[in-house]
Structure 1
Amino acid sequence: MNYESQSFGEEERLSLEGPEGPSRRRWWIIAAIVVAILIVAFAAFAMGGKDKGAGSEDPLAASKREGQIPTVSVAVPGRETVRNVISGTGSLAARREMPVGVAGEGGRVTRVLVEPGDWAKKGQVLATVDRSVQSQTTEALAAQVRAAKADADLAQSNLDRAKQLVDRGFISKADIDNKTATRDAAAARVRVAQAQLDEARARNARLDIRAPEAGLVLTRNVEPGQIVSAGSGVLFRMAKGGQMEMLAQLSEGDLAKVSVGVPATVQPVGSDQTFKGEVWQVSPVIDPQTRQGIARIALPYDKALRPGGFANASIMSGASDEPVLPQSAVLSDNQGNYVYVLNANNEAERRAVTLGDVSDEGVAIKSGLNGTERVVLSAGAFMNPGQKVKPNLVKLER
């Protein structure tokens, strides 16, 4: 009875499992392993994304989130001399340009003795004009002078002889008076002839085109064989003493900061040379169209300074004692420009500032700082007023 029951139970288990029972269990085990792997991979991906997001978070924000005090770089700017530089552009020109034309009656040009770029002395002949006719006139007037002098000498001799005979009674007092008048008239004719000769010589001298003052020849507009007259216009242009200038165009506000005598540097376009000069005249008027005026900068002669060329100018309009900060320390929003400074408790305080000139050294602060404050150099955009920080004092390089 028991044997039969035991045999029946074993047969029933085998019949329930069947021949595919072990294979089905293996598939369930494999499926459970795959699901476990997927769960682990998903968890790793989620943790990696979280770590990546935390790594890109700003250090100040992360420190604040974790309850730590962030460390920021600060510096005490102090004060230094800041030169106020005004930049302008304009053209080069001769400081005193001298147009040279025909002063006399003119004629045919026989020779041109200078070229552009040559130096000329005061009174030096630049070009000559044919004077063959004028020379003959001069010779005729010179002959008249000689004839008048001969007549005057004869009249003087007659007067001298008459004076010797008057005491003997051979010549009357009236004859002496006549001979004296004749002598005086002859002397007057000499003076008239001499004046006419001098006038002719002066006219002939004006036929030569001469330099009115010593200077540099800039242009030449005449050639040999050309017929010139008083209406021929300018034949030469010269720069008196070779002095040059730059006509720097400045805005109305910048022009008000410039005064006569301040130094300036000029750099012609296309050249790496700079030339030192000074402002010698400030325009008393402003162009109503461009709202600009002209500051004239005197420059010494140099062959690299070509009138008509374009140049850049830097004018020193003065100097001031101001704090200078790196550009990263200065922030801006709708309320204006500001910086963060640290108080005695190392808490950030917003400080409004007025900016001055910007240069390679940094930004000059015209007002808002006295130079003794501890100013946050960077990360100010991530700070809030009143936030406590740990300062790392650094020294600014000048």
Structure 2
Amino acid sequence: MNRETSFSSSDTLVVVDRSTRRRNIIIAAVVGIAVLLAAFLIFGRGGDEKAAGAAGAGPGGGQVPTVTVVVPGRTQVARAIAATGSLAARVDMPVGVAGEGGMVASVLVQPGQWVGAGQTLAVIDRAVQARQTQQLAAQVQVARADAALAQNEFERSESLVGRGFVSKADLDRKRAARDAATARVRVSEASLAESRARMGRLDIRSPAAGLVLERNVEPGQVVSPGSGALFRVARGGEMELKAQLSEADLVTLKVGAPASVTPVGSAQSYAGSVWQISPVVNMQNRQGVARIALPYNETLRPGGFASVSIVAGSQEAPVLPESAIQSDDKGNFVYVVSKANRAERRPVKTGTVTPAGIAVVEGLSGNEMVVLRAGGFLNPGDRVRPQRQKN
């Protein structure tokens, strides 16, 4: 039993020694492979970085930035003129006392109410004028009766002339009396018509259909032709904007040009058109007035302030996004990339703002490579690597 135990122990030791040796070999192989892989990655990446650095280095050894550029070309854009002004009634009709006046008996309308042509706005007491009219009407009746009597006497005398009972001289007197009575009838009728017209003018009426803007009279107030405007009516409810424009802008405008008006404090715009351009320019501020007609809308109130954009024709111009246009104390400018891949500052003048961007009316032909972004980090003369914008 001792011999078998000794043999088993010796065999076990041999097996253990061989397993340990194999495991050590495998571990050494794995470690060697890992070291080789790490060395390859380190030295390979360093070579690539050196190559990239050599490719991206500038003349001074620095990095050359990559900038996104675009060639804008030229696009047909509308030329818009921006201005401000005050709202007013297109035809503002002041309504006052047309007759001799008197005490106001009643006022029939309120501001904001629509009225028709000839509609009564207020009534002045007419008790005295009514009595005078009645008296003149009675005088007309008397004159007509006198005229009828004179006509009958003339006809009887005319029938008796042939018999010799009435002389021709008497007939002539009868004819003259008849003509005078007829004339007195016409005078009386004219006086009656005048009195009725005067009494009718005691009704203050609207000269045209429109919207009542102001009411400056109350019942019991005594008014006369010198009392001024008792009402203000906007004919047809039409409004307008009196836009103040520079002398240069007035030259480019034409009657009928479309416009968009935005009242102060409102996000809504209203379409209108230029219906009149001032024929004179103010000598102090060198500005003129363009009057823009607007249809009635309850949010357009005379006396309010509004801004307007007037379309004054169209033009071809490069259109750039807002990010491409820089600004400083010298004005607006962009950076363009030269053939030598250098950044060049280019002063520009901007125009209409469109949904596609801002039109550049001066400074660019449209064939340049314009830096879209990062212009604020460039300086004139910097070397750059241009990259076209992807659509």
1:83 aligned to 65, 78, 81, which one?
A: 78
1:129 aligned to 121, 124, 139, which one?
A: 124
What percent of counterpart residues are identical? Answer: 55
Tell me, in whole angstroms, the C-alpha distance in 2 between the residues paired with 1:89 and 1:388. Answer: 44
1:354 aligned to 348, 353, 377, which one?
A: 348
Tell me, in whole angstroms, the C-alpha distance in 1 between the residues paired with 2:238 and 2:126. Answer: 35
1:313 and 1:151, CA in 2 relative to 1: closer, same or farther beyond 3 A? same
**Residues 57-91 of structure 1: per-residue CA shift (max 9 Å, x gap):** xx9x9743657765432222122122222222221
Aligned to 1:311: 306
Contact 2:214 2:233 in 1 (8 A): yes
Aligned to 1:222: 217
Gaps of 5+ in 2: 1-52
2:268 aligned to 265, 273, 282, which one?
A: 273
Contact 1:342 1:376 in 2 (8 A): no
Tell me, in whole angstroms, the C-alpha distance in 2 between the residues paired with 1:105 and 1:190. Answer: 26
Tell me, in whole angstroms, the C-alpha distance in 1 between the residues paired with 2:326 and 2:88. Answer: 44
Tell me, in whole angstroms, the C-alpha distance in 2 between the residues paired with 1:266 and 1:110. Answer: 42
Tell me, in whole angstroms, the C-alpha distance in 2 between the residues paired with 1:382 and 1:194. Answer: 95
Contact 2:211 2:237 in 1 (8 A): yes
Contact 2:325 2:332 in 1 (8 A): no
Aligned to 1:339: 335
1:388 and 1:148, CA in 2 relative to 1: closer, same or farther beyond 3 A? closer
- Matches for 1:55-134 after TM superposition, within 5 Å: 63-64=57-58, 71-134=66-129
Q: Does 1:260 align with 2:249?
A: no
Compute the displacement of 1:378 (Å). Answer: 3.3
Aligned to 1:237: 232
Which secondary structure does the structure 2 equivalent of 1:231 belong to?
Answer: helix
Q: Specify the code of the residue in structure 1 equivalent to 2:255.
A: V
**Residues 209-267 of structure 1: per-residue CA shift (max 9 Å, x gap):** 11122221111111111111122221111112211111222344444433332111111
2:201 aligned to 202, 206, 209, which one?
A: 206
**Residues 160-185 of structure 1: per-residue CA shift (max 9 Å, x gap):** 22222222222222222111111101
Contact 1:342 1:375 in 2 (8 A): no
Tell me, in whole angstroms, the C-alpha distance in 1 between the residues paired with 2:233 and 2:91. Answer: 8
How many residue pairs end up in the alignment? Answer: 335
Q: Specify the code of the residue in structure 1 equivalent to 2:310.
A: I
Tell me, in whole angstroms, the C-alpha distance in 2 between the residues paired with 1:62 and 1:358. Answer: 39
Q: Does 1:175 align with 2:186?
A: no
Contact 1:108 1:130 in 2 (8 A): yes
TM-score, normalised to structure 1's length?
Answer: 0.75
Compute the displacement of 1:276 (Å). Answer: 1.0
Tell me, in whole angstroms, the C-alpha distance in 1 between the residues paired with 2:144 and 2:126. Answer: 27
Tell me, in whole angstroms, the C-alpha distance in 1 between the residues paired with 2:338 and 2:180. Answer: 107
Compute the displacement of 1:116 (Å). Answer: 0.6
Gaps of 5+ in 1: 1-58
Compute the displacement of 1:384 (Å). Answer: 5.9
